[in-house]
Amino acid sequence: MTARVNAVVVRAAGEAPEIAELQLPEIGPGQVRVRIRAAGVCHSDLSMVNGTLRPPYPLVLGHEAAGEVLEVGQGVTTAAVGDHVALNWQPACRMCWFCTHGQPWLCATTSGIAALENGSTLDGVPAHVTLGLGAFAEQVVVPQNAVIGVPRELDWAPAALLGCAVLTGTGAVRNAARVAAGESVLVIGLGGVGLSVVAAARAAGAGTVLAVDVSESKKALAEAAGATEFLVASEALSKEVRTRTEGRGADHAFECVGRSATIRAAWRATRRGGQVTVVGMGRHDDMVELSALDIFSSARTLRSSVYGNADPDAEIPALAADVLAGTLSIDHLVTDRIGLADVPAAFDRMSRGEGARSVVLL
Ligand SMILES: [Zn+2]
Ligand SMILES: [Zn+2]
């Protein structure tokens, strides 16, 4: 049985996303069909349409989602019909060198793929799905390792956010940077991921959490997430951070934008021996310039954090438990509840730097 579903589709490079009907593929061995109930609008979706990435088209957008399992294929062992699941855009093969050496987020089989062929448009053209998911759709057909069970009591919108923004942000703090109690933390860029970094840093016991954005309108969101102070991005950022960290600079800086200018700003605002963690995904031709002497004498660490350097199979259920227990608050991340047709307007809000997450509810 194949299903015909509505989805948010980009027909070709440079074209605006539109609602189109899709023919889902027949479910194969090891696959599951999921009815999407919530899907967050993430910056990586915008990167698929604004020229940052060059995925194949036609392309179904969306990769941060949760839903209900409708059908399971032959040999599926990890999900059953009726299960509530969050989607995982970096499913681990568990066989490659990275998976067998404790780094499933770098899985050689599935990592770095912008879009996979899956289903077709009604005129028979093969469709591609963002990060193997294409979650701005009423239903998806995905491999069983791309779904992770979540408790039924968890609302759909927070369940969706666990699959990208929350895992990415909390993992950057806990797994990549390992922020310790009492440390000072600077977070640049306050979208869904940046605000998750702020919340996780605070939960880790960071003493000072300075949250920075170009948009003054992010102040209330930053404070709700646990920032001790909000700063509007400016040329004077490094100085402003130093005056708040006894003249040294921050122990940790998290760059959640994905631009050379903000990576350099994060670098300059970090103390000698401090750590800069790049969480934002930038362009391949946006070069970061640092002097050889500065790299040596500053003694800083510059690293990236991919999907929170996490094993989603273990950490998404743990984050879900934290949300239900009230030890991790993510409700403030959802600023707009929208329908599929409102996704283009959500991209506009994101481009203007307004709000945190828009979540499509189906
Ligand atoms: Zn995302
Ligand atoms: Zn692997």
Q: What pLDDT, in 10s, does the model give residues 94-145? A: 999 999 999 999 999 887 778 889 999 999 999 999 999 999 999 999 999 9
Please give the pLDDT value at position 3: 86
**114 and 46 in contact (C-beta within 8 Å)?**
no
**Ligand 1 centroid from CA 42, angstroms:** 5
The DSSP letter of residue 289 is P
Give this prediction's pTM: 0.95
Please give the pLDDT value at position 1: 56
Q: Is the pLDDT of residue 337 over 70?
A: yes
If 0-12 CB within 10 Å is exposed, 13-18 middle and 19+ buried, where does residue 128 land? buried
Strand duo 184-188 + 250-255: pairing: parallel
**Ligand 1 centroid from CA 182, angstroms:** 29
Model pLDDT for residues 36-95, shown as the tens digit of each residue: 999 999 999 998 988 788 899 999 999 999 999 999 999 999 999 999 999 999 999 999
Q: How far is CA 283 from CA 52, 176, 189, 280, in A?
A: 6, 22, 16, 10
**Ligand 1 centroid from CA 353, angstroms:** 16
| Section 209-227 average pLDDT | 95
Written as six digits, the tokens of 290 are 């640092």
Nearest-ligand number for the alpha carbon of 100? 2
| Section 335-349 average pLDDT | 95
**Ligand 2 centroid from CA 90, angstroms:** 9
Please give the pLDDT value at position 67: 98
**Ligand 2 centroid from CA 292, angstroms:** 35
Contacts of the segment 210-217: beta carbons below 8 A, 24+ positions apart: 210/184, 210/185, 210/186, 210/241, 210/244, 210/250, 211/187, 212/186, 212/187, 212/188, 212/237, 213/188, 213/189, 213/353, 214/353, 215/190, 215/352, 215/353, 215/354, 217/353, 217/354
